[in-house]
Structure 1
């Protein structure tokens, strides 16, 4: 449903909440929307700005608007699980995201998703403990900025190995 929200231009917290409510109220499915699906949708909607900021921070050379829409939806779910769901470990969320990407996206997507989400998981404590108004504190920004070159380098090299970033000179990023 995050993919649907994005395609419809509803990928704002309000739009995602509305789509979640719409699907719960007016479903044509034979079974109701699972509770965990609702929890994911509402969690992503609640933390969308922070999730997108984390994704953008670790993928500077690959802006969110240039990512395949399916990949963005997959990464938003996994980033929410990594950062805001204490019941899911980072490796479990990353593995699930990669498996979905293998089935639903491009051949290069699982490697890119693995690298990007791995970088987010490495900064899990800093990213998930930011201020409640969805802005990063000065300390969190400093930690992120100090980690971005190394983490992005890892993401870029992983993505390049899969052919995602062929046009970028990775040596200039170090």
Structure 2
């Protein structure tokens, strides 16, 4: 399979957790804590990869901003009308586009499209690609501004 790497699996797990958290009306952070507790007694639950936790923590901290960016790039759609899995994929990729300095934006968009192919409707890959293509144009400016302003921890100190 083309995308069987550790990061791809971590992203897929993040989408699963975001989807589940929204369906249950709980914080995705609580699901990570729950999984980490459960895996101690039941290895079949599977460990939560560090990258999955990093992404979920970042998305959870920036939900309003991420949703505002995604919503502003939807044409003839609203965020609540999207399939829940597409919302999760778009949130994940948007966070990565703005915060994953070690990953090229094209790779992030490609990964999101692959996740849409695996997990969503037949129309979703093209839709996800279109939305993220426009958001990706903002990524260099957002990344540069964040780096110029220091880390989140630096700004809070």
Give the TM bin, normalised by the shorter chain.
0.7 to 0.9
**Distance between the aligned counterparts of 1:25 and 1:60, measured in 2?**
41
Q: Tell me the TM-score normalized by structure 2.
A: 0.74
Q: CA RMSD in A?
A: 2.2
> Structure 1 residues 9, 125: CA separation in 2 closer, same or farther (over 3 Å shift)?
same
> Structure 1 residues 62, 37: CA separation in 2 closer, same or farther (over 3 Å shift)?
same
Give the aligned partner of residue 61 of structure 1.
Answer: 76
CA positional deviation for 1:29: 4.4
Give the aligned partner of residue 5 of structure 2.
Answer: none
**Distance between the aligned counterparts of 1:58 and 1:32, measured in 2?**
34
Give the aligned partner of residue 29 of structure 2.
Answer: 17
| Per-residue CA distance 1:37-84 (angstroms, 9 max, x = gap) | 111111111111111111001015211100001111111111111011
The answer as to 2:18 corresponding to 1:2 is yes
Give the aligned partner of residue 9 of structure 2.
Answer: none
Give the aligned partner of residue 125 of structure 2.
Answer: 110
| Per-residue CA distance 1:63-122 (angstroms, 9 max, x = gap) | 110000111111111111101111122110110110111111111101110010111110
Give the aligned partner of residue 12 of structure 2.
Answer: none
Give the aligned partner of residue 91 of structure 1.
Answer: 106
Unaligned runs of 5+ in 1: 133-174
**Distance between the aligned counterparts of 1:8 and 1:70, measured in 2?**
14
| Per-residue CA distance 1:112-151 (angstroms, 9 max, x = gap) | 100101111101244454799xxxxxxxxxxxxxxxxxxx
Unaligned runs of 5+ in 2: 1-16, 151-157
Moved over 4 A (4+): none
Q: Which has the higher helix share?
A: 2
CA positional deviation for 1:26: 2.4
